[in-house]
């Protein structure tokens, strides 16, 4: 057994190779964790967009049922953005980087939600409440 000048055993520490191996293993584990975290963020955003489209459809149905007509801005057939949709239907949907476009007139309408980016996609809601994926890697609906 070898002793250091301070009287302790020379084999009591970690070698450089052992420390490097621990750092590499922790890096691999952290990499998998970040990948899973980013996947969860994308899935949450996908579900949020689907839920917001469902809310737009439900609010449109309630408005039409109560007033016996389509919302005022919808009758003109003009394209509208999220601010117009929120105003006409009394909603408070937050865009969160998603672009919402309304087109059509009267009871025949479509609302398109476009999510930008590398994992971006586009969902379309029609007047029947059907949500379909038109472009990009489609989320589970």
> Looking at residue 23, what is its pLDDT?
95
In the predicted structure, residue 1 carries a pLDDT above the cut 60: no
pLDDT for position 127: 85
Cα 65 from Cα 35, distance rounded (Å): 45
Confidence of residue 45 (pLDDT cuts 50, 70, 90): confident
| Contact criterion met (CB below 8 Å) for 81 and 89 | no
Percent of the chain with pLDDT over 90: 16
CB distance 71 to 60 below 8 Å: yes
Per-domain residue ranges for the chain? 16-135
pLDDT for 19 equals 92
78 pLDDT band, cuts 50/70/90, is low
pLDDT of residue 73: 55
Find, among 89, 131, 140, the residue nearest to 112 by Cα.
131
CA–CA separation, 112 vs 134, rounded Å? 9
Q: CA 107: distance to chain centroid?
A: 28
If one compares 1 and 139, the residue with the highest pLDDT of the two is 139
What pTM, to 2 d.p., does this model score? 0.71
Cα(43)–Cα(10) distance, integer angstroms: 52
Highest mean predicted confidence (pLDDT) among 19-28, 43-52, 63-72, 117-126: 19-28
Confidence (pLDDT) at 136: 78
């Amino acid at each position: 057994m070898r002793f250091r000048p301070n009287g302790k055993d020379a084999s009591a520490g970690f070698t450089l190779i052992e420390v490097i191996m621990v750092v590499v293993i922790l890096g691999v584990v952290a990499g998998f964790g970040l990948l899973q975290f980013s996947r969860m963020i994308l899935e949450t955003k996908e579900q949020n967009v689907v839920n917001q489209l469902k809310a737009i459809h439900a609010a449109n149905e309630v408005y039409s049922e109560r007033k016996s007509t389509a919302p005022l801005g919808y009758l003109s057939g003009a394209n509208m953005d999220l601010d117009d949709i929120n105003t006409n239907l009394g909603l408070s949907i937050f865009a969160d980087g998603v672009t919402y476009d309304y087109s059509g007139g009267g009871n025949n309408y479509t609302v398109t939600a476009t999510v930008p980016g590398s994992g971006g996609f586009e969902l379309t809601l029609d007047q029947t409440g059907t949500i379909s994926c038109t472009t990009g890697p489609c989320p589970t609906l």
